[in-house]
Amino acid sequence: MPEIAPDDKRRIELLETVSKKGLKTLSLEDLKELIILVEKKDYSHNKKAQKSKMKLLAQINARVYDIEEKTWFR
């Protein structure tokens, strides 16, 4: 059985947190890390997975914007 790369482990860990508790439980740093890790993953072979990836990235980016906007206006 092939070993799972550390990046993949971290991506899976963050995605499990999102699926169980939602995006609001992640810190800004975790969200930015998740963006990078999800963008790296290639889903081009699966059209449905690629569409889900793009939808998730849009949701994460919206959450990051919300957090940064709140800190910017303080």
Please say if the pLDDT value at position 72 is more than 80.
Answer: no
Provide mean pLDDT across the span 43-58: 95
Q: For residue 1, tell me if it sits in a domain.
A: no
- Answer yes or no: is 43 within a domain: yes
Give the pLDDT mean for 21-48.
Answer: 95
Does 61 map to a domain? Answer: yes
What average pLDDT does the segment 18-43 reach? 95
Q: What is the pTM (predicted TM-score) of this model?
A: 0.87
Residue 29 near residue 67 (C-beta atoms within 8 A)? no
* Structural domains counted in the chain: 1
Q: Across the chain, what does the average pLDDT equal?
A: 92
Instruction: Say if residue 12's pLDDT is above 60.
Output: yes
Strand ranges inside 1-74, DSSP E:
none
